[in-house]
Every structure is written in C-alpha cells, then in structure tokens.
C-alpha cells in the first residue's frame, strides 16, 4: 500500500477524485496527509472533514526542513500535487525525485510554466486557435510544469468555448486521468526508460 501526501491550494476536486477512487478500491494507496498553501480553502476543509492531517506550507512559515521531516514521518512514498500553486522547494524535489507528480490542465509543453495557471491556461489555448487541449500528468522537477511527462489525455476545443467552458471539460478529464495514473503508480506500473517515464501496461480510459 503506497502512502500518498496530496498538496492543494484551492477547490481540491482532484484530491477528492483520488480519494473517491481509493474508497472504491481502484487505487491501492492511502492518503496519509495533506499540505495546503493556505489555511482556508475548500480542499483543506474537506481534508479536515474526513479526518486527514492538514499542514499549511508555506503560509505559516513552516521551514522546508520541517516539511520534509513531516513527509518522512508520515512515510510518504509519493507526493501528489493537485492544484498546489507554489513552487516546491529544491530540497523536497531532490528528496522525492521521480516520486512527485503534478497535473496540468493543458497538453504540456504548450501552455505551461510560470503564470499559466487557472483560467489563463485556457484563455491561452483559445487565443491561439488550438483545436485540441487536454490534461498532462508529469513528474515534478525544479521548474513550473517542466518535468518529464507520464500521461496525457486530449480534450477538444469547440466553437463558442470560453475559458470557463473549456476549464470545465478539462477538469472532468483531469478527474478521469489523475486517479488512473495514481492507481498505476501504486500498482508499480511506472517504469523508466532512462529519464522518461512510461505507464506499462498502458492506461485504459474506458469504463466511466
């Protein structure tokens, strides 16, 4: 059973999707703790409501060393970033190299990096006329939205889309993709070809 710590900053809908998949026995993992960048956000409220310990970083001034120690004390095998908006300290990236994931609401390496968050991602897609956007799950390194890509799923851009309508359809796809990727990782299906990760056997997006 892999132990997971989820990092959030806002709504926490991906966190909930992963938690629901665990409850349905679709992921052989356990969420041991949640880290939120702010004390008050719906994701943190939800975590507290189901009895999970929530740490606040960096808003309360907790040090990087203390956060790392805490992650290790919880036995965290994998860190799952789910809408966490702060850059992860280098010390934590180093300790969890190849064991920290992020989800991004576009097909990286396009429409990612500093400043591409929330609606700005989807507006960026619309402004170029791109016809396919989607979801990317990738390994976290020292830069925003930068590490090697684990899995992607497409979402079509439709005539009349706004950043809001597109965000809604992309978020639905996130809720399908992220639990599957986390499930595969907990099964030990993440394999590395040098510095490039693959899920093997490949994910199936069917059955929902």
Question: Taking the complex as a whole, how short is the minimal distance between the CB of residue 12 and ligand GRF, in angstroms?
Answer: 5
Q: What's the CA gap between 181 and 186, in Å, rounded?
A: 9
- 186: Cβ contacts below 8 Å, ≥ 6 apart: 1, 2, 4, 27, 28, 29, 78
Question: Taking the complex as a whole, how short is the minimal distance between the CB of residue 84 and ligand GRF, in angstroms?
Answer: 7
Give the residue with the Cβ less far from ligand GRF, 21 or 61.
21
Residues that bind ligand GRF (CB under 6 A): 8, 10-15, 43, 82-83, 103-105, 171, 174
Peptide bond into 201 cis (omega under 30): yes
175 catalytic per annotation: no
Give the residue with the Cβ less far from ligand GRF, 12 or 124.
12
Question: Taking the complex as a whole, how short is the minimal distance between the CB of residue 73 and ligand GRF, in angstroms?
Answer: 25
Closest by Cα among 132, 137, 136, 121 to 157: 132
CA 205: distance to chain centroid? 18
Query: Residue 155: what are its φ and ψ, rounded to 5°?
Result: -135, 130
Residue nearest to ligand GRF (CB): 83
Give the residue with the Cβ less far from ligand GRF, 37 or 63.
37
Active site residues: 104
């Amino acid at each position: 059973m892999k132990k997971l710590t989820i990092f959030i900053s806002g709504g926490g809908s991906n966190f909930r999707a992963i938690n629901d998949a665990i409850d349905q026995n679709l992921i052989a993992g356990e969420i041991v703790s949640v880290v939120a960048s702010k004390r008050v956000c719906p994701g943190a409220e939800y975590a507290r409501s189901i009895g999970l310990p929530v740490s606040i970083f960096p808003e309360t001034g907790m040090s990087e060393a203390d956060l790392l120690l805490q992650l290790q004390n919880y036995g965290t095998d994998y860190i799952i970033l789910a809408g966490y908006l702060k850059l992860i300290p280098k010390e934590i990236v180093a300790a969890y190299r190849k064991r920290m994931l992020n989800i991004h609401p576009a097909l990286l390496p396009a429409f990612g990096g500093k400043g591409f968050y929330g609606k700005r991602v989807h507006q960026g897609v619309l402004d170029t006329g791109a016809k396919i956007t989607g979801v990317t799950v990738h390994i976290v390194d020292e830069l925003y939205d930068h590490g090697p890509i684990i899995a992607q799923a497409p979402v079509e851009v439709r005539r009349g889309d706004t950043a809001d309508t597109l965000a809604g359809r992309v978020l639905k796809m996130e809720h399908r993709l992220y639990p599957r990727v986390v499930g595969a990782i907990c099964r030990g299906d993440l394999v590395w070809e040098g510095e490039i990760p693959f899920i093997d056997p490949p994910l199936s997006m069917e059955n929902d």
